[in-house]
Structure 1
Amino acid sequence: MSDALKISRRKLSDEVFDRLYAMLLNGDYAPGDHLPSERELMERFGVGRPAIREAMQSLERLGLVSIQHGQRPKVTMPTADGMLSQIELTAMHMLSNSPQSLEHLKEARAFFELGMVARAARTASEQDVVQLEELLERQRSELNRDIGAFIKADMSFHSAIAEITGNPIFIAISHAMLNWLANFHASVLHWKGSEHITLEEHARILDAIRQNDEAAAVREMRAHLDRARSLYQLS
């Protein structure tokens, strides 16, 4: 028989993983519940301890359960942040080796940012505006002092706009993309001379949000992102 037609035998731990995963999807165990003990699962599935432990470790790596020594595994509450953290290493590897992927990420970030700033301009409260003002002042205070802190404050400003949307998936995606892009500031030279421009652009974005001017917020954010695209490069 041709090798292409042979059906490879799966590891027992893979079969155990599939069954446990199906139980979680079906709601047999809710977040906060403890799964059965190793011995119970061994008897239920008719497998040895190594298969159970390997399957549990796979579930833990995916953020689906937490394992504490001496306790039964506990089902965790899934979050968007947790979901995206699972792909971070793969994403960084892809971006580091593919200029095209980096360009795609910049485009995706712009798509999300424009949508989020539009919603922020429609829905921002006085408290939201005050927070953005404080973040802008924090960034301004780092001017000509600490470029790392300046960039961190820049990211915080954009993250705060995402948080105004109130959508945890938008927020998680925004955080992930900002963190991935932050790895491609090849040197402080990419920022040298543009700090004042960045602050001015942020001020204009903030002013549009303060005035609930959606069109202006989108226009100012688009101009800001178009200029900033050249700052992110493969190092």
Structure 2
Amino acid sequence: MNERSTDLIERKLLESILEGELQPEESLLSERELAIHFQVGRPTIREVLQRLERDGWISLRKGMPPVVNDYWQSGNLMTIVRMIQMYENIPIHFFQHMLELRISITPAYTKDAASNHPVKVISLFSNIDELEDDPKSFAEYDWGLQLSLARLSPNPVYLLLLNSFHDVYPKMAEIYFSDKIHRMISRKYYADLLHSLLQNDLTVVERITREMMKTSLDLWRKNKG
């Protein structure tokens, strides 16, 4: 089996789903018709369809063509990974959903990290005064900060989730930090967070982190609205 062919066909079908050419509950061509369309053998198509079903994109039906799923309802962690790998095709509202998710999880893993490894968390801000005032520097610093905080949390699932966004988070962050006001707000947040860490006030750590995540979402909505 030509593995490269399976990758190309899978990507083409995913593009059609993400771009709305294939809608939920719409039937795909049959396995035989897909093989003819893509000029490959049926085993190649079968492998592609099995991958798509595994990741929640479609449902296979015995004796009938596969049907497209609503991936927001039937997807899983691998669905997120594949969406991120296809960055240029991700629906714009996906980014908003990501920012909404941060409101829930970022305060939690930040507080956990500060509670379990206060000195190590404080050390993450040791070079904050040297942070260059440009989008790329802020994006790299913020991504590194989030990864480190999640890594210092005793719950390993947080880091698994963040690792899933490895390819897209820095790109999103660089777009976000292209606005100087956003950089100013984040710099103040880093300073306030460090102050609360030095005071060992975990309640404030959690509160200001949640407030910053909400602010980031509001700013993103404003810019994309």
Task: Write the distance in 2 (CA, Å) between the matches of 1:117 and 1:216.
Answer: 11
Task: Write the distance in 1 (CA, Å) between the matches of 2:125 and 2:102.
Answer: 23
Task: Write the distance in 1 (CA, Å) between the matches of 2:147 and 2:98.
Answer: 16
Mapping 1:1-235, distance limit 5 Å: 87-91=80-84, 96-99=90-93, 101-130=94-123, 132-134=124-126, 137=127, 139-144=128-133, 146-177=134-165, 179-184=167-172, 187=175, 190-229=178-217, 230-231=219-220
Equivalent residues of 2:110, 2:150 under 8 A apart = yes
Task: Write the distance in 2 (CA, Å) between the matches of 1:116 and 1:188.
Answer: 22
Q: Percent identity?
A: 15
Q: Give the structure 2 partner of residue 40 of structure 1.
A: none
Task: Write the distance in 1 (CA, Å) between the matches of 2:183 and 2:87.
Answer: 29
Residue type of the partner of 1:104?
Answer: H
Aligned residues: 164
Q: 1:141 to 1:231 in 2, by over 3 A?
A: farther
| Structure 1 spans left out of the alignment, 5+ residues | 1-8, 12-49, 63-82
For normalisation by structure 1, the TM-score amounts to: 0.53
For normalisation by structure 2, the TM-score amounts to: 0.55
Higher mean C-alpha deviation, range 148-157 or range 167-176: 167-176
The structure with more radius of gyration:
1
Task: Write the distance in 1 (CA, Å) between the matches of 2:174 and 2:199.
Answer: 36
| C-alpha deviation, 1:153, in angstroms | 0.7
RMSD between superposed Cα atoms in Å: 4.1
| C-alpha deviation, 1:108, in angstroms | 0.9
Q: 1:175 to 1:109 in 2, by over 3 A?
A: farther
| C-alpha deviation, 1:114, in angstroms | 1.5
| C-alpha deviation, 1:226, in angstroms | 1.9
